[in-house]
Structure 1
Amino acid sequence: MRNGKEKSSRRAFIKTTSAGVTSVALAATVAASAGPEASAAEPRKARCDGLPLAVTPACSGHETPAAIEGPLFKPDSPERSDLITPGIRGVRLDLGGVVHDTACKPLPGTLIEFWQCDQNGDYDTSGFSLRGHQYTNSRGAFRLRTIIPRDYWGRWGQRAPHIHTQVQSPGGPVLITQLYFPDDTEAYGRDFAALNAADRLLNRACTIRLTATPENTRYTGTFDFVLKTTA
C-alpha cells in the first residue's frame, strides 16, 4: 500500500460501490447492450484490422461506459499487477492501457481494481486469487498480467467472459465497468461469439483489443479508459 492519504482514497473508493450505484449501472448497461485445468485452442493470428467488436479508441473523450459491480467484489485486495498465482492455469493475458480524462489528458495515480473468475469459471471468495489493485504511472499507464476468464452461470444467467474493474482518479468519482473479449477469441474451447451475443449485460464498447503472440499460446491486449474527474 502507499501512504495514508492513498489508503483513505481507496477506502472512499470501496465505500462508493453501494447498491444505489449498482442499480443505476445495471439500468445503464442493459440499455446500452445489444449470458479441471484449461487448455487453449490455438488463438488466431494478430488482429490488425476489422475487429468484430467495437473497441474503445485510444482517447475518444467519451467516458468509458459503466456496468454493474456484481456480488463478488472484495475490498482490501493486494496491490499488485500480476494476478497469476499457483493453481491458475488459464490462457495467459498481458493487458495494458492508459487512463485519460474526458479532455484526453493522461491521469497518473489512478486507482484500478481488477477481479475475475478463473479458467473454470470460479471466483475466489475466500482469498484473493485473480484479484488486485494498482495505480497508473506518471504517464497514466497500467499493466496487468492475468488470464482470459471463462464464462459462468450467475445471478443474471450465463455471463460471457469478462474482467471486472473499478477505476478512480485521485479525488474523482468511481467508474465501475466490465471488460469483454472479441467474438473470435479462442480459449477453453468456448464459443465467444455465442457467449457475447447471449449476455444481456455485455457492452461492446468495452471490448479489449487482442493480439495473439507468435507462439499462439497467449494473448496481449489493450484497453484505454476515459474517466470523468468531477462528479
Structure 2
Amino acid sequence: MDSESNTSTGHVSRKAVLRAALAAGMAAPAVLMGVPALARTLSGGEAPLDLTPECDDGDDLTLPQMEGPYFKPNSPLRSSMPDGTGTRLTVGGYVFGRACRPVSGVLLDFWQADNNGAYDNTGFKFRGHQFTGADGSFKLTTIVPGLYPGRTRHIHVKVQAPGRPILTTQLYFPNEPRNNTDTIFDPRLLMTVRDGSGGREAAFDFVIDVPQNPGPTPTATTTTAPPGGTWTAGRAYAAGDRVTYGGVGYVCLQAHTAMGGWEPPNVPALWRVG
C-alpha cells in the first residue's frame, strides 16, 4: 500500500477505500457506508479527519461544489419536505468536527429540484433548514430530486456551526449515469443510498472545520445581551425582524430561535447587517 492507504492509527483511509471500490467497479458508498461515515469509527485522540469538500462558487476548479443559481434565504424551519410527488427519500447522518466528535446546534439548510427537475423560485417547495441535535445528528425527509439538463441528481446544502464559516456543498447519488458526465460531480460527496420501506434511505456524515479538544460534545452556552442590544438568546425571531447587537443593526434572514453562539455577527446565514 502507498503512504495514503493507512492512517496513523492503522485505519484504512477513506481515499484508499474509495480508490479500491472504484477500481473494482463497485458503488463506493456500499463499501464506505457514506464517504465521510468512517468518522464514526474513530475515537477520541485519533488522527484528525479530512474536511468535507467546501464550495468556492466555482473560483477554484478543483473544488467545483458551487452554490448554484437557485439558493434562497428564509427557508422554513422543518425536517420534512412533503412538497410534491416522487420517490420518498430519507437522508440521515451526523455533523462531526475535526477531532471526530459530533457538533450540536449546527444549521443545515437544504434545497433541491422537484420530481420534474424544477426548482421553486417563487416559494419554498423542497427548501428547509434544521439544526443538529445534541448528538450531532440530522434527518431530512424529502423525495429523490429529478434531473434537468447538464446535471446529475443532487441535493444542495449549507452547513454552519455556531460562530464558524458556512460550508456550501452538494450531495450525490451512487450509480447515476450522469455522474460520469456532470462536470461538477465529486465522488467524495456520494451518499450511501439503499432501498427502504416505502422509498429510499440515504446516509451522509459531514466533517466541518470546528476545532475540538478531548471533552464532552460542544453545546451552546448562555449569552447575555450586549449593552444597548435588543438581540436576546431564547427568543423566536421571524424573517424580517430587526435587532441591534453591539451597536449594529441586523435583519433576520431565516426564522429561528436564538441561542448562545448564534449572535448576529456569527451567523450570516441567519442575520445580515441592515
Q: Which runs of 5+ in 1 are unaligned?
A: 1-49, 184-191
Change (3 A) 1:201 1:94: same
1:69 and 2:64 correspond: no
What is the distance in 1 between the residues matched to 2:26 and 2:169?
A: 21
Counterpart amino acid of 2:186? N
Work out the CA distance in 2 between the residues paired with 1:95 and 1:201.
Answer: 21
Q: Distance in 2 between matches of 1:128 and 1:53?
A: 33
Report the Cα offset of residue 57 of structure 1: 3.1
Counterparts of 1:84 and 1:116, CA distance in 2: 13
Greater radius of gyration (CA): 2
- Shift in Å at residue 151 of structure 1? 1.5
Q: Could you say which residue in structure 2 is the equivalent of 1:224?
A: 205
CA distance in 2, matches of 1:84, 1:205: 28
* Native 8 Å contact 2:96 2:207 kept in 1: yes
Q: Any unmatched runs of 5+ in structure 2?
A: 1-24, 40-47, 55-64, 212-274
Equivalent of 1:129, from 121, 125, 137? 125
Tell me, yes or no, if the aligned pair for 2:36 and 2:206 is still in contact at 8 Å: no
Superposed displacement of residue 211, structure 1 = 1.5
How many corresponding residue pairs? 164
Secondary structure of the residue that 1:205 maps to in structure 2? helix
Cα distance, 1:53 vs structure 2: 2.9
Q: For 2:143, which of 141, 147, 158 is the aligned residue?
A: 147
Work out the percentage of aligned pairs sharing the same amino acid.
43
Please state whether the residue corresponding to 1:81 is helix, strand or coil.
coil
Task: Name the amino acid aligned to 2:184.
Answer: L
Superposition misfits of 4+ residues, deviation over 6 angstroms: none
Tell me the amino acid that sits aligned with residue 212 of structure 1: D
C-alpha distance after superposition, 1:76-106 (max 9, x if no partner): 0000000112xx1111101100000111010
Task: Select which of 204, 207, 214 maps to 2:187.
Answer: 204
Question: Root-mean-square deviation (CA), in Å?
Answer: 1.5
Counterpart of 1:56, as a letter, is V
